[in-house]
């Protein structure tokens, strides 16, 4: 059992390390669910099997010690070596592998429930949301803002707020639902979204922008991008525009591809019911709905709202729009 426990936690450490370094992806909700079930199994075994066995052993030691002292007392020997209470405590002590499984079950259960229904941490792996979010930002996502969903299968069971234009949302990538993406909601069901000549239009109206000082980026090579304050609905946020970037017209097909029209000026799409049109704030360095299509409601994970850590820049900690 100790070897199995070591293997269980070794696999968890490898996965978390790979996740943080961006080397591993997968269904962490499923992994945490399995870990919760596994520790629950250990907890049941400890409560109904291992702990009663240790208690029986401790009582047996105590009874044997009492019987021995009684026998020696009859023989006139009152001074007896050995401490029965110390041996009893050793017999009752949990082995390390139970301490790290059954003992941690309540903690892991709380983490599973918090992560599944309240808040979930994510790490920003790419620059598609610069300047709002930087590579290496560790963010919190509100899991219940858009409704309560069952863990692992992501099925909504209680409705809450609908996504609004301007929200920063985490969702499962439509082409590979094992991967989580983060973008900004620019189109809700029924909207006509157009991105022409590097300007955003919603239902035929251009979204107002104000120029800001150029934004310096080090990757992939040091350069400056044009930076603007854009107002999308009631949300004002910053975006980057690369004036030298040429429009890329995707060849891939995706659900409701017929709702989109591509031209030399850009793209225009009609958002279908139950779907959302997502774009990165780093407008010309973001693979988003312009290229792989719409995000269905069942793919929604939650609303991003807070940077809780960036090990390269602690000043990044705080809320964002």
What is the Cα–Cα distance from 111 to 59, expressed in whole angstroms? 37
Other Cβ atoms less than 10 A from the Cβ of 163: the count is: 20
DSSP 82: S
Instruction: Tell me how far apart the terminal alpha carbons of the chain are, to the nearest angstrom.
Output: 49
Map residue 215 onto helix, strand or coil.
strand
Q: DSSP H helical segments within the chain, as ranges?
A: 2-20, 28-45, 51-74, 84-92, 96-99, 105-117, 289-292
> How many other C-beta atoms can be found within 10 angstroms of the C-beta atom of residue 100?
17
**Set 29, 116, 128, 286: catalytic member:** 128
**Active site annotation includes 128:** yes
Please say if 3 is a catalytic residue. Answer: no
SS3 at position 268: strand
Q: Which residues pair with 45 in a beta bridge?
A: none
Give me the catalytic one of 29, 116, 143, 183.
183
Cite the active site residues: 128, 183
């Amino acid at each position: 059992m100790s070897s199995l426990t070591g293997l269980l936690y070794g696999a968890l450490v490898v996965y978390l390390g790979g996740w943080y370094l961006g080397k591993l992806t997968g269904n962490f909700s499923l992994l945490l669910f399995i870990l919760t079930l596994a520790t629950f199994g250990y907890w049941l075994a400890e409560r109904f099997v291992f702990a009663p066995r240790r208690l029986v052993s401790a009582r047996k030691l105590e009874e044997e010690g009492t019987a021995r002292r009684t026998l020696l007392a009859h023989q006139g020997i009152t001074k007896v070596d050995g401490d029965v209470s110390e041996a009893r405590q050793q017999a009752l002590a949990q082995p390390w592998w139970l301490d790290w499984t059954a003992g941690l079950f309540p903690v892991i259960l709380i983490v599973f429930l918090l992560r599944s229904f309240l808040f979930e941490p994510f790490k920003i792996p790419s620059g598609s949301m610069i300047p709002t979010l930087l590579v290496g930002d560790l963010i919190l996502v509100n899991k219940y803002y858009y409704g309560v969903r069952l863990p692992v299968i992501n099925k909504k069971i209680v409705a809450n707020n609908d996504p609004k234009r301007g929200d920063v949302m985490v969702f499962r990538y439509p082409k590979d639902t094992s991967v989580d993406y983060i973008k900004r909601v620019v189109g809700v069901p029924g909207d006509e979204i157009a991105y022409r000549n590097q300007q955003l239009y919603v239902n035929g109206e251009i979204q107002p922008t104000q120029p800001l000082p150029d934004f310096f980026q080090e990757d992939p090579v040091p350069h400056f991008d044009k930076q603007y304050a854009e107002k999308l609905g009631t949300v004002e946020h910053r975006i980057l525009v690369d004036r030298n970037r040429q429009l890329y017209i995707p060849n891939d097909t995706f659900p409701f591809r017929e709702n989109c029209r591509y031209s030399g000026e850009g793209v225009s799409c009609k958002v279908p019911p139950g779907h959302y049109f997502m774009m990165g704030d780093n407008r010309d360095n973001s693979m988003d709905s312009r290229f792989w299509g719409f995000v269905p409601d069942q793919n929604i994970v939650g609303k991003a709202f807070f940077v809780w850590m960036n090990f390269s820049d602690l000043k990044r900690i705080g809320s964002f729009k």
